Amino acid sequence: MLKHISSFFKKTIPSALGMAVMVLFTAFFINAIVVLAFSAPSGAPSVSTNVAAPVNVGGASQIKSGALWIGSLGTDGGEAS
């Protein structure tokens, strides 16, 4: 019985190690392709193509004229006190 177990491990461990090496090599190769394919944006971002500022970007209170709806929560517009 012990001889069969020993024989099993002698056959299985080298193939498992070989499979682990292949998986690690493949993961490294794919990672290298992704890293080498990346190209950083050139130059500064254009001011004319940026989106408008959100409703509130500062610490001061703001008043919005007109309605403001976010999902089902909102207001039909009113004067702030």
* Residue 74 near residue 67 (C-beta atoms within 8 A): yes
Cα–Cα dist 68/54, whole Å: 13
Taking only the tens of pLDDT, the chain with its 81 residues reads: 666 667 776 777 778 888 899 999 999 999 999 999 988 877 777 777 777 777 667 777 777 777 777 777 777 766 554
